[in-house]
Structure 1
Amino acid sequence: MGIDYYNILKVNRNATDDDLRKAYRRLAMIWHPDKNPNDKIQAEAKFKQLSEAYDVLSDPQKRQIYDAYGEEALKSGQFPPHSSASHGGASASHQRPRNNGNPNVSSKFSSFRFNPRDAEDIYAEMFGDGGSSSNGRAKSTGRWYNRDGYFRTSNGAGERNREHQKKGPPVEKNLSCSLEDLYKGAKKKMKISRTITEASGRVRTVEEILTIDLKPGWKKGTKITFPEKGNQGPGFIPSDLVFVVDEKPHPVYKRDGNDLIVNHEVTLLESLTGKNLELTTLDGRILLIPLNDIVKPGEEVVVQNQGMPISKEPNKRGNLIVKLDVKYPARLTDEQKVDLRRVLGGSS
């Protein structure tokens, strides 16, 4: 049976990042080898186990693979078919949901390689201590950190670590959306990759999947911010990651604010005798628009409350504007001309 990382950290399977940090900090302070001089061998084994559990569960990609396939598959990089996937880190009564029968889970991580972080690096990141509790501080990227979260610069001036760090500029990414998505609303999953500089100075890459909940009626230029999900440089708080909504061109409809515009051509006969115009809306409904009056070239028909949703007023929509054009015949025979004069009241 594989290792149960959740049990090692004494957290449940829905533990948040904050839960994991608190659990690790509490247990690492108990089991650090320097805290157990009389039983360093057992303490070192327990400390490494705690660090490995935190490393896996705090990394979204590692945690997702572990939850779906277990510890052995995580470390080997060999993922079994979804039908036989099992969680090697927990008994049946404690297993998390696996891949729900999704055959794409294993292929999604086909290039994954398990690279565990050093236990002392994790400890230094949490406590600014490089693992040596005898002196209470460790040198990292030009600063001396102590366990209280302070750092001392080369000129000896002490200051609060995070409170005095600067935040990098926001990182903006384009979020391309179809008009249907912006009409109905949608959930988009975006895989991101960012770099983090640890207290030890080591730079590591973190991959994560973010869920963006598109609201009906959002417009081009709408910004969705994920705080501190951007890159982190030494001495900086992680940047914010900002997705900016962009709108893909639609083959039928054009958006104008909250209104939708569609161009439609009718024949000369239809312009004179009328017709029922049939349109398929962005949510798949069939809309019938009767044209009972004579249609002139360039005329517009406004259908109220059939445009885009208004995001700040969920029960309201813009208008649907149908711009009509009349298609004239390329030529008429003499007989057709005579018939038209007769019908329209002209002289022969």
Structure 2
Amino acid sequence: MGVDYYKILQVDRSAKDDDLKKAYRKLAMKWHPDKNPNNKKDAEAKFKQISEAYDVLSDPQKRAVYDQYGEEGLKGQVPPPGAGGSGGFPGGSEGGATSFRFSTRSPDDIFSELFGFSGFGGMGDFGGGGHRAGVSGFPRGMFGDDIFASLRGGGGEGSGNPLRKSAAIERTLSCSLEDLYKGTTKKMKISRDVPDSTGRSNTVEEILTIEIKPGWKKGTKITFPEKGNEQRGVIPADLIFIIDEKPHSVFKRDGNDLIVTQKISLVEALTGYTAQLTTLDGRNLTVPINSIISPTYEEVVKGEGMPIPKEPSKKGNLRIKFNIKFPTRLTSEQKTGIKRLLTSP
């Protein structure tokens, strides 16, 4: 069995570039030899394994060869995909297809690229066939406990060059009341700067999928970790989308309740009224009201409000308010008749 780089980095075979970086950062911090003074030899070997795995899986060509041919492909037993002749890979032409060998980067170069620190030499190349060179050690003070504290966000005296994280980027995500009632999926296209292996910055585009859950409220935040621009020595910013609720033509939201106001006449207020509504999910709702409707009266319909996010099977209430239209004038006869009706036993 060859080396399983995916298992070493503790990622799935479908892992994207961001997944690989996060896995590498976590494991490199854990297994660096200076963090394991009582078990330095094993830590050095583990640290080099982690670096080797990241070097292969983060390079599209090396990863393609590894996925198809395994470790043997990386050692030069098979040509890289589409290599043709020499294909720009070291190794010469003798032996034909067996002469290809991918170059590798030293663990300290990889660590410098991911964490933004340089000048930690002495680790040497780890070879294409899994032959791991020894580690000669890192200078204390430049890469000691203070540096590790700064990478965790603490810093401290002598930390030298602490790795900071860019401030979060916040964007408003407008949603209709229907979206927040039923739930929906929104796709957002973002552009960000990402350095290539030479350090040159390239603009890449990515589609982010946001699952809007039924009942989410204005102000709900959805965070995509480290989706900001990438640059050496800086952890990319988190991208945060903040839910905003568009005004609705019929309903107004109050927490988990929905409020609707209906215009009715004084006669309807006194003699009875049937409210006809179309719900946010398109149902026709009929609500007969037999009570006398005063200007402050509310008809409450249980369970016809917004879904409750923590209990999706439950909903708030629908509260119907009324705007009563009073007559602008009454004849003497009408006044007499009303007075007689309202004062009769």
Instruction: Pick the TM interval, shorter chain.
Output: 0.5 to 0.7
CA distance in 2, matches of 1:238, 1:170: 9
CA distance in 2, matches of 1:224, 1:144: 38
Q: Residue in 2 aligned with 1:6?
A: none
CA distance in 2, matches of 1:142, 1:316: 53
CA distance in 1, matches of 2:196, 2:15: 20
| Letter matched to residue 279 of structure 1 | L
On the 8 A contact 1:125/1:200 being kept in 2, the answer is no
Q: Residue in 2 aligned with 1:232?
A: 230
- 1:175 offset after TM fit, Å? 0.7
Change (3 A) 1:168 1:30: farther
**Aligned mate of 2:208, from 204, 210, 219:** 210
- 1:344 offset after TM fit, Å? 3.5
CA distance in 2, matches of 1:220, 1:302: 23
Change (3 A) 1:225 1:142: closer
Q: Residue in 1 aligned with 2:245?
A: 247
CA distance in 2, matches of 1:239, 1:126: 25
Superposition pairs of residues 287-298 of structure 1, within 5 angstroms:
287-298=285-296
Greater strand proportion: 1
On the 8 A contact 1:128/1:199 being kept in 2, the answer is no
1:190 match: secondary structure: strand
Structure 1 residue 24 and structure 2 residue 61: aligned?
yes
Q: Residue in 1 aligned with 2:92?
A: 38
Q: Residue in 1 aligned with 2:7?
A: none
Q: Residue in 2 aligned with 1:219?
A: 217
On the 8 A contact 1:142/1:153 being kept in 2, the answer is no
Q: Residue in 2 aligned with 1:82?
A: none
CA distance in 2, matches of 1:294, 1:287: 21
- 1:244 offset after TM fit, Å? 0.8
| Letter matched to residue 241 of structure 2 | F
1:244 match: secondary structure: strand
Superposition pairs of residues 87-236 of structure 1, within 5 angstroms:
128=109, 143=118, 157=142, 165-236=163-234
| Letter matched to residue 324 of structure 2 | V
On the 8 A contact 1:253/1:260 being kept in 2, the answer is yes
Unaligned 5+ segments in structure 2 are: 1-12, 21-56, 67-73, 81-85, 127-134, 153-161
On the 8 A contact 1:225/1:241 being kept in 2, the answer is yes
- 1:341 offset after TM fit, Å? 3.7
Superposition pairs of residues 269-288 of structure 1, within 5 angstroms:
269-288=267-286
CA distance in 1, matches of 2:258, 2:299: 12
CA distance in 1, matches of 2:195, 2:177: 39
2:58 match: secondary structure: helix
| Letter matched to residue 277 of structure 1 | A
On the 8 A contact 1:124/1:199 being kept in 2, the answer is no
Identity value in percent? 47
CA distance in 1, matches of 2:167, 2:341: 72
Select the structure of larger CA radius of gyration: 2
Q: Deviations over 1:239-261 (max 9, x none)?
A: 22111111111111111111111
Unaligned 5+ segments in structure 1 are: 1-13, 51-119, 130-136
- 1:291 offset after TM fit, Å? 1.1
TM-score (norm 2): 0.59
The number of aligned residues is 249
TM-score (norm 1): 0.59
